[in-house]
Amino acid sequence: MADIPQDLLALLRRVDTPTVCNAIEVVQGRRGFNRFTRGTMQHSKPGDPPIVGRARTARIAGLAPPTEDPATIRARRMEYFRSMAGGDGPTAAVVEDLDYPNCIAGWWGEVHVAVHKGLGLAGAVTNGVMRDLDVIDDGFPVLTGSIGVSHGFVHVVDIGGPVRVMGLEVRQGELIHADRHGALVVPEEVIGGLKQGIETVMASEAIVLDPARSGDFDIDKLAETWAKFEAART
């Protein structure tokens, strides 16, 4: 997988996920990019910087008790933590709850947020449940399918394979970008041109935004600037 240039990482941590989505289409030269989540998700700290990292994946469940013996379940949980601590940084947890849309297991609460943050991950994306919103650590955004109160019978089912979160399939090691709008996978082939793509998106939007936010904007100026905007955007 391609290295992520430091200047691109710094930029990705400043811009929102819709901007990255648009920029991917600029690099690809066409509309139709579709590797993003569907539906409205819940964010632990709206306004936090986005989650940027290579995915560390796993699947959990918690609606019903596990059928395996407790020793196996305990061992797999520690294997999960070892996997989450691995990989070249930056990394982010992407965890599928197999009980979706009937998830009850609050895997993402005060303890697991502190543990994953302590292991060096940048944040988490899941279709499952988060809780403990008033006491979870700062600096570790969590984007989830729902908010709840229970941990249910939560247990790790498997580690490191493909996961599906809110319609988005993610494979371990893929680069994700996520904020309060949702999450997406950045295709490897666009990484080299993504910084320029983001700058292109921002410059083209400024063609309309700057005049619209001026004190003398009117329909005639809109007609003039919109034609330039249409010519500049993908």
CATH code of 145's domain:
3.50.30.40
Q: Are both 68 and 163 inside the same structural domain?
A: yes
Domain encompassing residue 99: 39-186
pLDDT confidence tier of residue 234, bands split at 50, 70 and 90: low
Q: Are both 97 and 2 inside the same structural domain?
A: no
Report the pLDDT value the prediction gives residue 205, as an integer from 0 to 100: 95
Q: Are both 48 and 99 inside the same structural domain?
A: yes
Q: Are both 110 and 86 inside the same structural domain?
A: yes
Q: Are both 159 and 230 inside the same structural domain?
A: no
Main-chain dihedrals φ then ψ at residue 168, nearest 5 degrees: -105, 120
Q: Does residue 134 surpass a pLDDT of 90? A: yes
Q: Does residue 77 surpass a pLDDT of 80? A: yes
Report the pLDDT value the prediction gives residue 232, as an integer from 0 to 100: 83
Q: Are both 220 and 166 inside the same structural domain?
A: no
Q: What is the pLDDT of residues 177-223, one digit of tens each?
A: 999 999 999 999 999 999 999 999 999 999 999 999 998 999 999 99
In the listed set 153, 169, 186, which residue is the last one of a domain according to the structure? Answer: 186
Q: Are both 52 and 126 inside the same structural domain?
A: yes
Tell me the mean pLDDT in the region 162-188.
98
Q: Are both 94 and 29 inside the same structural domain?
A: no
Q: Helix or strand or coil: residue 8?
A: helix
Provide the H-helix boundaries in 94-190: 110-118
Q: How many domains does the chain have?
A: 2
Q: Helix or strand or coil: residue 48?
A: coil
d(CA 110, CA 113): 5
Q: Does residue 233 surpass a pLDDT of 80? A: no
Answer whether 165's CB lies under 8 Å from 42's CB: no
* % pLDDT > 70, the chain: 100
In the listed set 167, 186, 205, which residue is the last one of a domain according to the structure? Answer: 186
Q: Are both 119 and 136 inside the same structural domain?
A: yes
Q: Are both 165 and 231 inside the same structural domain?
A: no
- What's the pTM? 0.95
Instruction: Select from 224, 189, 220, 186 the least CA-distant residue to 208.
Output: 224
